[in-house]
Amino acid sequence: MSDYKKLADKSEEEHKNPSALTPQQLDEMRTPESGLTSGEARRRYDRDGPNALPEKKVNPCLKFLSYYWGPMPIMIWAAIIIELARLAWLDFGVLMVLQFVNGFVGWHEEKNAGNAIEALKKSLALKARVKRDGKWEEIKASELVIGDRVGIRLGDILPADCQLGPGYAEIDQSALTGESLAVTRYEGDIVYQGSVCKRGDLEAIVAATGARTFFGKTSTLVASVTQRGNLQKILLKVAFSLLIISTILAVIILIVVSVRGNNFLESLSICVVLMVASIPIAMQVVCATTMAVGAHALAKRRAIVSRLSAIEELAGMTILCSDKTGTLTKNELTIQQPMLLKSYSVEDLFLVAGLAAKREQGSQDAIDKCVTEYGINKCRVSYSGYEEEDFIPFDPKIKRTESTVRNSRSGETFKCTKGAPQVVLAMCNDPSIEEEVSRNVMDLAARGYRTLGVARTNKDGKWSMLGLISLYDPPRDDTKETIQKAIQMGLKVKMITGDQTAIAKETARLLNLGDRIYNSELLSDEATAVQRELLNSIIDEADGFAEVFPEHKYAIVAILQERKKRVGMTGDGVNDAPALKKADVGIAVDGATDAARAAADIVLTLPGLSVIIEAVYRARKIFQRMQNYCIYRIACTFQLLIFFFITMVAINPRDFAYHDSHHKTPPKVFALPVLTIVIITLLNDGTIISIAYDKVTVSRTPNKWNLILIFSIAVLLGGVAFISSMIMLLWGLANMAHGGTPFLNALGFDRWRYGEVMTMIFLKICISNFLTVYSARCKSWFFTRTPGKFLAISTCCSMILTTILSCYWYLNFSTGGSSSIPDMNSISWSIAGYVWVCNIIVFIAQDIAKYFAMMAFEKYYAITGKDGGFSSAVLTDSFLIFNENVRKSIVTRRSMAAAHAGEFKH
C-alpha cells in the first residue's frame, strides 16, 4: 500500500476522532480575549499545536495614548501641571498644543508599520475543496487540519503543505523558493502552501498547516524581526545625552535660585521648560517632516516609502543584496543563439520544436510558450498547415515531449520531439554529431543555460537531430548599468537567488558582478568546520549566493549586520519577506507579492533597479539635511542651556543696577519668562522644518552618523553664540547704571530699563539661532552654497517677526500669584538694530571657527585613515559634476523605460 493510500485512510479516521484536548488546554484556548468556540479551539490546536495561544487585542485608544507617555512627554506634562498650578494660562495653553502635536506625529508615523504578517495571511487561498465524510465540500482554507484530503486543479492556490496523490502536477512555487520555472511533482512529493497549480488534476493529503508550513516558517521569521530603525537610535542617543546634561544643570539652577529666595514654582517651571527645550522635543517632528518631503519626491519617481526612517538608512546603505529572478533578470525565458546541425535552418529547428509543444493558450508551460512565440515572431514559422494526431506531454521518466503530426498539404506524417539533449541524441543514434552536441551541451550547462534537443523522424521513420535550443532568463536592460552606478556610489551588490549555482554564475558574468558565487551549503549544518569558521568573511567578500531558501537569505542579512554593515535587500516573493523585514532597508521591486510589499520599507512600481540609484541619491540629500539640522539644533540648545545656567547661577542683576524712583529694583536672578523660552523653542523648530527643502550636496560614499563630529561642531557654534550673548547681557546690565557704559553711550544709547535688557536678550538669542542655521548647513564657508528658497523665506520671516515682537512687546500676563520675574518692555528700533549688527558680526566669527574646525577634522581622518563619516567630496566641484551625471543618466534611463511602456508619444 502506498504512503498516500495510508494517509488517505487515516484522514477519514482522524475526522471521526479529532485530536483530544485536555480540559486545561481547552480552557487555555477559550480565553475571553480569543472568543473561540470548542470547535474553533480544536481546529486551532490541530493546526498550530499545543502552543497556539490566542492573540490579545490592543485597545486603539490606549495605543494612541501610549504616545503621550515617555521621558519626553512626561517632562512636558510636568511643565503643564506646574503652569496650571501657577495659573499661567498662556504658558499652559502653549505647552498643551506642543504636547498634542508631539504625540500625534509619533502615533501617525507608527500606525502603518509592522503589517507584514497580515499581508502574508491575505496572500493565502481563501477556500479549499476538501473531502469529508465521503463528500466533497468547499471550506475556508483556515479550517483545514492535518490529514484532510483536498482536491487540486489548474489555477488553484495550494491551501496548505500537501502530499500529492496519484498523478503529477506542475507547480509554480517561484514566489516561495525563487525558482524561475514551474516544477513537476509526483505522487508522494510535498508541495508548498501558497504555490499555484499550473497543470494537473489530482488529490492530496494535508501534511502541514499554519506555522508548521514552509510558508508559516517564513511568516515566523518576519514576525521575529522587531529591530528599531537606525534613525530612532541616533535620535535617542542625542536626546539622552542632552537630557542628562540638561537635568544636571537644571537641578543646580533650581537649588541655587531657591536658596536666593526665588518663587519655587516659578523656578521649577523655568527649569522644566529649559529641559524640554534642551532635548529637543521637536527633533522627531522636524526629521519626520524632512523625510516625508523626500518620500513624496521618491513617490513621483515611482518609489513608495512605507517607513520614513528607511530613507536615512538608505543613505548609509553599504551592501545591497539583490534577488535575481524578477529583480536583476526579467523572469521570462529567452532563446539564446540556437545551435544547428547539418544543413538544417533556424526555421526548420523552431518548426519542429513548436510542433513538439503545446500551442493552445492557457495550456502552455513556460518552455512551450517561449519556443512557439520565438518561432512565430522571430522565425516567421506557421504551424497552421500541420494537424496534431497524438501528443505525449513531458514526463521526467522519458525527459521529453513527443507529438505525431500530419502535413495537411503533402499528407506526410512524422514525429517531433524536444527534451533533454542526451536523450534526444541517443534516440538519433548518429555518431557523427555526438562529439559536437556533447561539447556544446556541457558548455551551455556550465554557463547555466537550460538546453533542449530537437529532432524529427524522416521518411524511413528514423530520428534525425536538428540542433539545440538554449534557454535563459536574461538580465533587465538597465541592470548592468545600475550595478555599475551603485558601485560608483560606494555600494557593494550581492546577488542572492534560489536558482542553480551555474545559472547564478552566468548571470553574474553578464552583469560584471563578480565570480565569487557560493552555494547555500555554506549556511547549512553540512558545512565543513573550515567553512563555518570562515563563514563571516566569506559572506562579506562574496558576490552572490545560489540555491538559497528564505532562512538562508535571512541568515545572510543577519550575519552582514553583525559585521556592522548597513544592508539593503531587494526581492519580490514571499520567500524574500523575512530578509526584507530583517534588512536595514527592504526594497520590494515591481510586481512583488503583497507579503513582500508589506515587509519592505520601499516599494518600487517601475521595473528594474535604476530607480534605486535615484532613491539612494535623494536619501543622501535628505541625510545631509537631517545632519545639518542636528548640528543646528544642538548648537541652539547648547547656547540656550549654558547661557541660562551661567546667568541664573552666577549673575545677580542687582549688582549692576542703579536704583532711583524711575527704575524698579531688579531681581536677584536673571531669567526670562517661561513663555519666551517656549517661543524661542517653537520658532526654532517650527521654522527649521523648512530645512527639508534646503539645497545640499551629496556624498560620494555611504553616509554615517558621526556624533563626535556633530557635537563638536554644534558646541563650537553654540559656544561662540553663548559667549556673545553673555557679553551683550553684561553690557546691557551695566548700561542700567547711572551714566550707562562708554561703549553704548558712544553709540548714542541712554540708560536701559531691566525689562528692555530682557527683551534685548530675547531678540539676540532668537536672531543668533536663525543665523546659526546658515553656518550649520555648510561644511565650508556659508556663502559657498545658496540656501533653499523656503529656508531663506522662513528664517527671514521669523527674524522679522521676533524683531517686531521685541519692539512692540505685549505678552505680559499675570500668573495669578507672586512672580520674581519682572515684565518685559518693548525696545526701540535703534536697540533692535544694535542687536542685529552684533549678531551678524558673531555669525561671521561662528563661520570662521566652524570652517577651520572642519578642516582639522578632515585632516585628522585623512592622516589616521579612519572613516569618520566625513566626506571631503562635498567640498569639491567635481562631485557636483558626478551628481549631475548620475541624475542625467537616471532621467535618460527612465525616459527609455517609459517609451518602451508606451507612456511617451513621439
Query: Which residue numbers are catalytic?
Result: 323
Which amino acid, residue 561? Q
Place of cell 494537424: 387
CA distance 248 to 256: 13
**Torsion from C-alpha of 739, 743, 745, 750, nearest 10 degrees:** -70
CA distance 205 to 146: 8
Q: Is 310 left (phi over 0), alpha (psi -120 to 50) or beta?
A: alpha
Cβ proximity of 175 and 574 under 8 Å = yes
Give the β-pairing of 585-588 and 567-571: parallel
Cβ proximity of 806 and 731 under 8 Å = no
Cβ proximity of 578 and 553 under 8 Å = yes
Cβ proximity of 52 and 25 under 8 Å = no
H or E segment to which residue 198 belongs: strand 196-199
Place of cell 517564513: 218
Residue 689 phi/psi, 5° resolution? -55, -25
Cβ proximity of 776 and 717 under 8 Å = yes
Cβ proximity of 520 and 546 under 8 Å = yes
CA distance 43 to 206: 14
Return the bridge partners of 467, or none: 340, 454
Which amino acid, residue 894? R
Tell me the CA distances in angstroms from 477 to 180, 483, 510, one per residue in order.
18, 12, 11
CA distance 117 to 222: 7
Residue 423 phi/psi, 5° resolution? -70, -45
Cβ proximity of 473 and 447 under 8 Å = no
Helix, strand, or coil (residue 212): helix
Cβ proximity of 552 and 576 under 8 Å = no
CA distance 303 to 314: 13
Q: Which of 8, 571, 671 is nearest to 320 (CA)?
A: 571
Give the β-pairing of 319-323 and 567-571: parallel
Q: At what angle do helices 214-223 and 550-562 cross, to 10 degrees?
A: 20
Considering only CA atoms, give the Rg of the chain: 36
* Cβ contacts of 20 within 8 Å, gap of 6 or more: none
Tell me the CA distances in angstroms from 174 to 142, 678, 803, one per residue in order.
23, 57, 65
CA distance 208 to 753: 84
Return the bridge partners of 151, or none: 203
